[in-house]
């Protein structure tokens, strides 16, 4: 990789001490009239989403590269403080097993260059087949990325959760390289019986891995997959409230993303959590749907 290019990229990433909050998507037809305005078109959903949240999981980049024109549309749709957390494409993390991708990775970084000032972190999600035997490969791949680019790494192989040598070596690598360990809390999802198609599908797709809470760098990432009963989540996420407050008081910059089985109520779950957190660094904007006149007021 060209070192001049890397140095150019490095200057974009600056730490901001606050809490970044979001959902795993910014576009959903189910959110029209509930969180977005009734007539919100897909092309305007990111803009309305960014009025509520200050970050989002950019899952779209995991499956396909957007066009340069789409990148510019995204840039023009969000305020300057908004932070994307795009996923590294699966062709690197899965299909190519992190190998032989140096030139392709550089092209991917160049594609996203217009958005660099709005990228808080890059997320490397590794498949279940990626065991601790691949730690050297993970380390080599991370060296291909710009040095100051904040990276979150999510592992799903149970060997990384053994509370022994494998996990210790992985955490030591993350700490040494200033990479964030992504913590996926799926306990709420698996706490409820699979009584709906959405829950059945989510329980099939989401990893059922242990939760080991650790901040290996400045910006820990939590992906919280809530249960369908919003009130029941209060008891389930209660330990996170103190942990998030502690990290914020330490000057860390946590990223917290809220999922539900079908993400229908994900924004409501986020709003409920932030209200319970009651910390000055954690705020959400109003739902645009709540700001538009009600139907009865139109007549």
pLDDT tens digits, 207-249: 999 999 999 999 999 999 999 999 999 999 999 999 999 999 9
Q: Per the domain annotation, does 39 fall within a domain?
A: yes
Task: Give the lowest-confidence range in 79-88, 132-141, 177-186, 288-297.
Answer: 288-297
| 298 has pLDDT over 60 | no
**Confidence tier at 101 by pLDDT (50, 70, 90):** confident
Q: What is the mean pLDDT of the chain?
A: 91
Give 268-297 pLDDT, tens digit per residue. Answer: 999 999 999 999 989 999 999 999 887 555
* Contact between 118 and 22 (Cβ < 8 Å): no
CATH number where 123 lies: 3.20.20.410
Full-model pTM: 0.91
Q: Per the domain annotation, does 298 fall within a domain?
A: no
% of residues, the chain, pLDDT over 90: 81
In this structure, what are the phi and psi dihedrals at residue 124, rounded to the nearest 5 degrees? -105, 105
Q: Could you give the number of structural domains in the chain?
A: 1
pLDDT of 96 reads 57
Q: Per the domain annotation, does 299 fall within a domain?
A: no
pLDDT of 17 reads 57
Q: Per the domain annotation, does 236 fall within a domain?
A: yes
Q: Per the domain annotation, does 203 fall within a domain?
A: yes
Lay out the sheet containing 55-58: strands in order across. 20-22, 255-259, 221-225, 180-185, 151-154, 119-125, 83-87, 55-58
* Contact between 153 and 180 (Cβ < 8 Å): yes
Q: Per the domain annotation, does 249 fall within a domain?
A: yes
Range 90-112 average pLDDT: 83
Range of the domain at 207: 3-290
Q: Is 206 left (phi over 0), alpha (psi -120 to 50) or beta?
A: beta
pLDDT of 297 reads 52
Residue with tokens 């576009």: 27
Q: Per the domain annotation, does 143 fall within a domain?
A: yes
Q: Per the domain annotation, does 185 fall within a domain?
A: yes
């Amino acid at each position: 990789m060209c070192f001049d290019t890397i140095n150019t990229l490095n200057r974009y990433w600056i730490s901001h001490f606050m809490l970044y909050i979001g959902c795993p998507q910014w576009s959903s037809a189910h959110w029209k009239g509930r969180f977005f305005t009734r007539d919100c078109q897909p092309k305007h959903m990111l803009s309305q989403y960014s009025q509520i949240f200050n970050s989002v999981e950019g899952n779209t980049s995991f499956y396909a590269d957007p066009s340069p024109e789409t990148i510019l549309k995204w840039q023009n749709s969000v305020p300057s403080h908004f932070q994307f957390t795009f996923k590294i494409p699966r062709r690197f993390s899965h299909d190519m097993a992190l190998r032989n991708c140096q030139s392709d990775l550089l092209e991917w970084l160049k594609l996203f260059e217009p958005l660099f000032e709005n990228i808080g972190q890059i997320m490397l999600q590794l498949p279940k087949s990626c065991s601790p035997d691949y730690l050297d490969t993970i380390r080599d791949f991370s060296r291909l990325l710009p040095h100051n680019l904040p990276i979150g790494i999510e592992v799903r192989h149970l060997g990384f959760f053994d509370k022994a040598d494998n996990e210790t070596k992985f955490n030591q690598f993350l700490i040494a390289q200033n990479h964030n360990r992504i913590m996926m809390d799926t306990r709420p999802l698996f706490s409820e019986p699979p009584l709906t198609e959405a829950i059945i599908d989510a329980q099939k797709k989401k990893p059922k891995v242990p939760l080991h809470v650790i901040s290996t760098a400045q910006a820990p990432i939590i992906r919280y997959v809530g249960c369908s009963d919003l009130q029941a989540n209060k008891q389930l996420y209660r330990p996170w409230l103190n942990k998030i407050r502690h990290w914020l008081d330490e000057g860390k910059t946590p990223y917290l993303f809220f999922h539900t089985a079908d993400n229908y109520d994900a924004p409501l779950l986020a709003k409920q959590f932030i209200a319970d957190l009651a910390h000055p660094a954690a705020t959400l904007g109003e739902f645009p749907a709540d700001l538009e006149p009600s139907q009865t007021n139109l007549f």
